[in-house]
Every structure is written in structure tokens, then in C-alpha cells.
């Protein structure tokens, strides 16, 4: 099975995919029945969410189909106020911990800030950096902290190899529009690993993060 842990395009139930939504894209009455993640993306932050908006976010995130918080994170290349980004990320971290759901992170030029927050917050729930394409030095720093790395179309072979052998590997299509099977094949060929073995390694990460999703009764 080809697990796609982060996509903005696919609404298919198979191959298995987690559709990513920003808070403004859906309402409580239109929550998906298939697996999805929900978050305040730093790109769209204009002001601190109101108390009512936060309550609604928690209510929607409590849905059984919401399997992760995010994508959310820190981005130094957007116009959103930096202190606001940090405050909203802290809020979503708390929701992640309270609901016992992993958090999917969007990071741009904010790695040292991420390490600082990770040390301060000491999360019990898994953190996942999506769309990882940086070098092996940064990959090792993240993996040493127990953080999962999700790889898409573009990737560093050395970082991919490290994540594979460290059991911190996930795969995503994001907004590429490419079939997830094609992305798996590209990555497995880059590591010279048979596709079925590669899929099993990703499945191992899925079993640690979302064991219920492997159940045939989830849908």
C-alpha cells in the first residue's frame, strides 16, 4: 500500500492519503470522512485567532477523521508577523498534545527556532517535517530529536537514506499532482531498494504514528 501522508490535491481513499486543510478551507458541517489534517498555515496568518476560532478548531480537530494537526509551522519568507507565527504554533502544539495527534510542520529558514521550541516544549506527540529536501547534516539533527521526515518529489538522497535506515521515513505528494506511486518508485530507485521493501519501511512509520489507520475498519 502506498501511504501519502500530506497532499493538497488528492481526495482518494486509496492509495491511502491524508488530505491537508487550512482552517479556512472547511467548516464543522463539511468535515471530510476520509483521513485529513487541519492547521493554521503561517502563510495565511493575519491576526491571532479569536477564542471562538480556537474552540472551533479544537472541535474540528477532535473528529476521528482528523488524524494530524497541520500543516502548521514557521516561515521567515512570508509576511505574517513572526511572534504571531510562534504563538499560533504553540497553540497547535498544545492541541496536538491534548488530542494525542501528530503534528505536521512547514518550516522555511526557521530550523534553529524549531530546535529551540522542541527543546522547550518537549513534545510527547510525534513531530513530522513535511517536504524535507535539506542536507544530511540537518536531517541528522532532526532525526536525533526523534522527528520524522516526509519526502516528496525533490529530495536529498543522503537525507532520504538516513531517514530510511533510522525508521523516520514518510512519503508525500504535497501539491505536485504526481501519483504517489511514482514518487515512491523514484525514491526507492534512488536508494536502490526494491519498491516492496521500501513500502514496508514507510508502513513501519505509519504503524508507529497511526496504528488505527492500518485497520480495515477505519473507513
Written as one string, the DSSP assignment of 4-35 is EEEESS---SSS-EEEEEEGGG--GGG--SS-
pLDDT at 219: 65
C-alpha cell at 187: 525514491
Q: Which residues contact 192 (CB under 8 A, 6 or more apart)?
A: none
Beta bridge partners of 19: 7, 36
pLDDT in the model for residue 84? 98
For 9, the grid coordinates are 490535491
pLDDT band for position 11 (cuts 50, 70, 90):
low
Beta strands in the chain (DSSP E): 4-7, 17-22, 36-39, 66-75, 103-108, 127-129, 148-151, 169-171
Model confidence pLDDT, tens digit, residues 87-142: 999 999 999 999 999 999 999 999 999 999 999 999 999 999 999 999 999 999 99
The C-alpha cell that represents 67 in the structure block: 488524524
Residue ranges of domains in the chain, CATH in brackets: 2-209 (3.20.20.140)
**65 within 8 A of 28, measured Cβ to Cβ:** no
Distances (CA, A) of 142 to 92, 109, 118, 146, 205: 20, 14, 10, 7, 16
200 pLDDT above the threshold of 60: yes
Amino acid at each position: 500500500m502506498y501511504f501519502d501522508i500530506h497532499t493538497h490535491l488528492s481526495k482518494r481513499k486509496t492509495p491511502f492519503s491524508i488530505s491537508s486543510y487550512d482552517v479556512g478551507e472547511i467548516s464543522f458541517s463539511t468535515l471530510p470522512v476520509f483521513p485529513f489534517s487541519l492547521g493554521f498555515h503561517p502563510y495565511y496568518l493575519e491576526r491571532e485567532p479569536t477564542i471562538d476560532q480556537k474552540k472551533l478548531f479544537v472541535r474540528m480537530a477532535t473528529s476521528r477523521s482528523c488524524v494530524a494537526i497541520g500543516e502548521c509551522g514557521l516561515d521567515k519568507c512570508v509576511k505574517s508577523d513572526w511572534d504571531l507565527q510562534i504563538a499560533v504554533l504553540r497553540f497547535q502544539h498544545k492541541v496536538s498534545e491534548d488530542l494525542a495527534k501528530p503534528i505536521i510542520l512547514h518550516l522555511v529558514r526557521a530550523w534553529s527556532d524549531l530546535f529551540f521550541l522542541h527543546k522547550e516544549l518537549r513534545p510527547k506527540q510525534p513531530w513530522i517535517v513535511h517536504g524535507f529536501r535539506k542536507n544530511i547534516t540537518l536531517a541528522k539533527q532532526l532525526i536525533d530529536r526523534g522527528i520524522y521526515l516526509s519526502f516528496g518529489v525533490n529530495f536529498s538522497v543522503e537525507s532520504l537514506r538516513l531517514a530510511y535506515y533510522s525508521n523516520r521515513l514518510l512519503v508525500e505528494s504535497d501539491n505536485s499532482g504526481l501519483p504517489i506511486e511514482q514518487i515512491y518508485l523514484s525514491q526507492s530507485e534512488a536508494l536502490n531498494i526494491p519498491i516492496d521493501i521500501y513500502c514496508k519501511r514507510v508502513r513501519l512509520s505509519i504503524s508507529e504514528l497511526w496504528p488505527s489507520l492500518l485497520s480495515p475498519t477505519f473507513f
